[in-house]
Chains A and B, each alone.
Chain A
Amino acid sequence: MESAVSLRNLVKTFGEHRAVDGITLEIPRGILFGLIGPNGAGKTTTIRMILDIIRPDSGEVAVLGMPAGEMVKDRIGYLPEERGLYRKTKVLEMLEYLGTLRGASPSAARKEASAWLDRLDLGSWKSRKAEDLSKGMQQKVQFIGAILGKPDLLILDEPFAGLDPVNQNVFKDLMLELNRGGASIIFSTHQMDTAERLCKEIALINRGRIVLNGPLSQVKSRFGKNSVLVEFEGDGAFLRGLPCVARVDDYGRYREVRLIDGANPQELLQAAVGRVAVRRFEIVEPTLHNIFLEQVGGQAADA
């Protein structure tokens, strides 16, 4: 089966700035795929090229086995990062319009939108204007707009940004449900814990290039089991001075210590025991968060 999305040597420059600098990526069908990276890394530009909203300077984009463009647009649901609603338009009318733009007839689009609104507890808001809705309700309406017409591919740009925990859960459950129903889902995020919990595969983009790519488990094992969670009482400043330590991330209650390659965690334990009262010492896989920080470093793109 062909990929959900296949990108070859994708390049896009805006003036002097190379927003996407030679991205090659295969996104398999039927999975939840996470596109992660710092702000300004080129995630949104890549997504826009997949949707044929902007054209690449060079390179190829294939979506669901077809070149990106008119033919395949109806099969993609898209929730952009910058999303809004017509403020003066009634909710159901708005969704009906979005449904018709994906090829449905007005009456069919209306029926489907109406069913979704009922399901997400917005049934009584159908004939209210968008501006009367709370922010959380508007986000639900926008999400419905993206999934109308049962798209084969769902692309969500920062779907969880600005959501309260309740809506985060609603969105997450819907994404999983649609994915089980056969839809391929690509979403971009810089919330690493979300990506870690949901994605089967990820691609880490930085400065317009793919830094890491593959199934999450492979990506993590590539970094080995050389991270240690340490919880202790006392001054932890000494950790940074130890020869076996590559980097230290302070989470307040505990610290995640990444060791240099080949170092023995026992060295760290011995050094620590002499200086502080250790309460917890656990050898773990690095979190995606840590891998991200390590790869992107302190020098994330400034945009």
Chain B
Amino acid sequence: MIKVVNVIPNALSGETNQDSEPNITVNPANPNEMAISAFTPDPMGGSNAPIFISTDGGNTWALNSIVPSQSGNATGDITFRFGSTGSRFYAGILRRPGSLRLNVLRSANFSAPGTMTVLVDRTQVDQPYIQAATVPSGADSGKDRVYVGLNDFAATGGKTATVERSLDAAVASPTFTSIRIEKRGTGTAGQNGPQIRSTVHSDGTVYAVFYGWRAFSAINVVTSDVVVVRDDNWGSGSTPFTALTDPADGVAGRRIATAVQFTWNGTLGQDRLGGDLSIAVDPNNSSTVYVAFCDVQSGAYTIHVRQSTDRGANWSADLKTITNAKNPALAINSVHRVGLAYQRVTGSGAASRWETHLELTIDAFTTSADSVLATTPANLPAPQFLPYLGDYLHMATVGLTFYGVFSANNTPDTANFPQGVTYLRNHNFTTKKLLALNGTTEVPVSIDPFFFSHSEPFVTQITHLTGLTSLTRLTALTTFTRLTQLTQLTRLTKLTLFTHLTQLTPLTHLTQLTRLTQLTRLTQLTRLTQITRFTPFTPFQGEPAVEARTVVPFIRFGNTIFAPEELDLSRFAELSGAVEELAGAGITRLHQLVSADPYMLISAIGYSREDAWRLIELAQALMRGLAH
């Protein structure tokens, strides 16, 4: 389910660069196409900096030097995104030579040779962080919207947080407009922080988050608000990004945390600190948005995760805090699963480690499944420059799958990668040595970018992607089955069993033969047919008024129908050791275990990932045996 790949290609087996501050983009129109960037110079010292490209879903990677730069140097800061359709590829960089020179770039083909086209070229800008989306319908259908969050020192009044926006970036000479999103004073700081991050929903909702610096002390202590802004129409109106106001002062920009503090240029595990932000909107519900930010709590640099379910108007308290950690990256997939990737330091001195985590949750971090992607020495190698691992990393989703990248010490030691790892560069896992292209010369350890992806369990994929027709025979739907708007349920038969947690969406059609239990939840938007035993105008508020009925439950698997008690776990000797634990998690029958969410088993019972999967696979084998 989790794939980790060291992306340094075999041809560059001898490289020892500090390939830090990685970013990633995946083509929504073709998820096999993806690109990764890092502070990697052109291997031949050419004047274009390279990006890592993959056209096979991240299994193999190659470098393609297409980013305008300076001979022999990596580019400065770089982030990039595909549009939602086609293969148009956009980047925001700090271009060399120079230190604060913004370039916004475009390419029609990220794997072709050549140099990306320059769309914007100006100075006095820091940390450009790009997002792109293609308008899916309406008058502007097909137009690429591009948003570059950046710290623009040319802004007046010290309100430097800016979104550079184009409403049609695919045309030959697109127009970009600088939108100042800070509406409050920045006090003694005289500017905002460098992190300005945005997230775009296909319905035209665009959120951005930034550090509203309020003070900067003589000893480099930053005092800041964390501010979220929103626009409901692609940032296109006369007063863009002012849809959210703060209830306390009525000013545009909702403060989700105030007076947070951290030290500018602090340190953690050989890397530097100076603020971290990430923001992600639910691709199936633009009202739900998550933010991660960092500050110092009791002396420890700390990640906080908060959530809003009403378009940013109100925010939760901390759903999650992680100390001694940085580089949070949030993403949400098409079935509402939220992913948080981050890097934290554990231990101290020579025993200190950089751990890279991927944490997934379906219930706003009430429970979550935490996977350690890498645990590598934090004191080696020595830094070649700062940032050591990066001022940020990135994670994205396409459909159900999470895609991300992180940088870490590249020692080929399988113990450092608990989820497994693939190296494309020459290596020896037994001797834990990197090897040059000749396969014999030892290569020193350095910092490399690692791609990772996470796919949803198979059961969920079937429900989401399969078009179910009237002829489809549905077996029992479990408590974890989600019927989404994309699930084409045209007709459910009397054999369909709905449990109390089955969620029906506006597009779910229920027929006269559908059996509803007393606990089936119907929302106000659920479409009911004329034969359904409810009046068409029944206002469903709170718990729906459902007619009490006697339900004779059964479970169907293939062509075999079981009475529920036939599937009691206690009847299967193979599962005898796990019956009590599973019962504690509410799983008492075989069909429940067959379609259980492994992450629930991990979080609720404490199983290892391997044990959870082994158990589910065993249950599936038993069920197949029974059905035959």
Bind each other: no
Chain B residues with a Cβ under 8 A of chain A: none
